[in-house]
């Protein structure tokens, strides 16, 4: 916060928070499936894929439940303190993994990798950006998410190179050093919880006197639902189940990507390239945000991408080679990019910003549960049938049922206040 105190006369500090949030998304990578999956095949443990999947799914599920507590802590202590605590915890886990000699310890580390990395360091920026933006939420969130997209594109290839060059142990230490010597200092120097901490109004509204800032804070509180009230609203559950779909399908597909693609005649290096391409369409979301999100009702920005996901799943079932796989990845990446952005905008829109940390924490549980159960049905389908057709068809049905419920989305009672 040292830089913030010096002042930014010609720049609204919220845009600095967008860059900070992008960095948090990027450094969530050590806890993401696309990063962990590279290490799994290189660690010196003789265990079955089923055992690894069970540990991973269980850890992801427990970390998701724990995010309820993390969301409340964010509301109570603020994003700044929680980010520093979470990053420190993640760095310690990475160091432990660099010396681990037992799969049992490595398996239990999945929980902390998922909780600190994939869970908390996705929740923090998702609830930080809306504290600084109101009219430009969609654009700001889409820019911040570029950090996560770049990680998806780059980290799998970087991990493969680092592990191949220096070994798996040194690779964990390099990640720990990056967290400790780059990420934590930048967060300490720059992260600010909300505009009022700098005597600003959201999006630099005038005037900036203390009374107006206090009235603005009271308005935000009055027009927000608490977590207790939010879980009584149908929209909370509909949005929650929608958020499960991309995390469940993407995690399951990514975890089994090499086998899935091999069955369709696609070589391993090509499959690795396709994983990165999944994030490529979302790089254009800052350009499209105003058109896709701000000019249409959120209900349609959520329901229409679900239809696109169903179509993409059908395409995956029909893949016959690299070209069709490339089309699938671009198509699927495009619709989930729109859906994820729409969901990020939906939570403050439907429930307000004052209790957003606890509400996003509860909402993130849906996403993490989806990630937890994603790999298992893919594995069961393959073990029983030697293919993934059954699980893909099942997820198409689940997505279609969820789509029907999105057609009933409506404004919550907070909009009438």
- Domain residue limits at 188: 2-416
Query: Are 48 and 383 a contacting pair, CB within 8 Å?
Result: no
CA 373 to chain centre: 16
Query: Distance of CA 376 to CAs 37, 53, 55, 258, Å?
Result: 15, 7, 11, 16
Q: What pLDDT, in 10s, does the model give residues 286-342?
A: 566 556 665 667 778 888 889 999 999 999 888 888 888 889 988 898 888 888 878
Q: What's the CA gap between 169 and 161, in Å, rounded?
A: 13
pTM of this structure? 0.71
Q: What angle do CA 226, 290, 124 make, to 5 degrees?
A: 40
Q: Which structure tokens are listed for 277?
A: 């391409």
Which of 195-209, 210-224, 298-312 has the weakest average pLDDT?
210-224
Residue 138 vs residue 219, higher pLDDT: 138
Give me the DSSP letters along 311-349.
HHHHHHHT--SHHHHHHHHHHHHHHHHHHHHHHHHHHHH
Q: What pLDDT, in 10s, does the model give residues 260-278?
A: 888 888 876 777 778 777 7
Query: Are 374 and 247 a contacting pair, CB within 8 Å?
Result: yes
CA 197 to chain centre: 26
Q: Which structure tokens are listed for 46?
A: 């003789």
Q: Does residue 70 have a pLDDT over 80?
A: yes
Query: Distance of CA 294 to CAs 336, 349, 391, Å?
Result: 17, 12, 35
Per-residue pLDDT averaged across 188-203, rounded?
Answer: 85
Q: What's the CA gap between 12 and 342, in Å, rounded?
A: 24
Domain count, the chain: 1
Query: Are 396 and 314 a contacting pair, CB within 8 Å?
Result: yes
Q: Report the CATH number that the domain containing residue 214 is assigned in CATH.
A: 1.20.1250.20
For residues 386-398, b (16+ Cβ closer than 10 Å) or e, as one string? eebeebbeebbeb
């Amino acid at each position: 916060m040292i830089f913030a105190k010096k002042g930014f006369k010609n720049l609204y500090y919220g845009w600095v928070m967008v860059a900070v949030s992008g960095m948090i998304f990027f450094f969530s990578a050590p806890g993401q499936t696309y990063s962990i999956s590279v290490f799994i095949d290189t660690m010196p443990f003789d265990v079955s894929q089923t055992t690894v999947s069970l540990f991973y799914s269980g850890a992801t599920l427990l970390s998701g439940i724990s995010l309820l507590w993390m969301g409340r802590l964010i509301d109570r202590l603020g994003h700044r303190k929680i980010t520093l605590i979470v990053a420190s915890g993640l760095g310690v886990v990475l160091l432990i993994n660099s010396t681990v000699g037992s799969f049992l310890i490595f398996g239990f580390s999945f929980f902390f990798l998922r909780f600190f990395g994939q869970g908390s360091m996705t929740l923090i920026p998702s609830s930080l950006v809306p504290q600084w933006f109101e009219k430009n939420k969609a654009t700001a969130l889409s820019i911040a998410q570029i950090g996560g997209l770049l990680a998806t594109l780059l980290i799998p290839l970087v991990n493969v190179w680092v592990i191949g060059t220096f070994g798996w142990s040194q690779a964990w230490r390099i990640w720990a050093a990056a967290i400790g010597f780059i990420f934590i200092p930048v967060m300490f120097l720059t992260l600010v919880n909300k505009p009022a901490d700098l005597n600003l109004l959201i999006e630099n509204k005038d005037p900036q006197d203390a009374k107006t800032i206090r009235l603005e804070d009271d308005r935000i509180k009055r027009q927000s639902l608490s977590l207790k009230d939010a879980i009584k609203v149908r929209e909370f559950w509909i949005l929650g189940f929608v958020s499960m779909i991309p995390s469940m399908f993407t995690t399951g597909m990514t975890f089994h990507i090499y086998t899935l693609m091999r069955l369709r005649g696609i070589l391993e290096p090509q499959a690795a390239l396709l994983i990165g391409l999944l994030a490529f369409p979302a790089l254009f979301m800052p350009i499209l945000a105003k058109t896709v999100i701000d000019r249409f009702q959120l209900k349609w920005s959520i329901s229409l991408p679900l239809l696109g996901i169903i179509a993409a799943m059908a395409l995956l079932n029909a893949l016959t080679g690299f070209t069709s796989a490339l089309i699938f990845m671009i198509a699927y990446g495009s619709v989930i990019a729109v859906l994820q952005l729409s969901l990020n905008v939906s939570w403050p829109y439907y429930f307000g910003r004052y209790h957003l940390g606890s509400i996003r924490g509860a909402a993130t549980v849906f996403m993490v549960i989806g990630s937890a159960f994603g790999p298992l049905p893919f594995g069961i389908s393959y073990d029983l049938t030697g293919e993934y057709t059954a699980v893909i068809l099942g997820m198409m049905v689940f997505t279609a049922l969820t789509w029907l419920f999105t057609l009933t989305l409506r404004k919550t009672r907070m909009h009438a206040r």
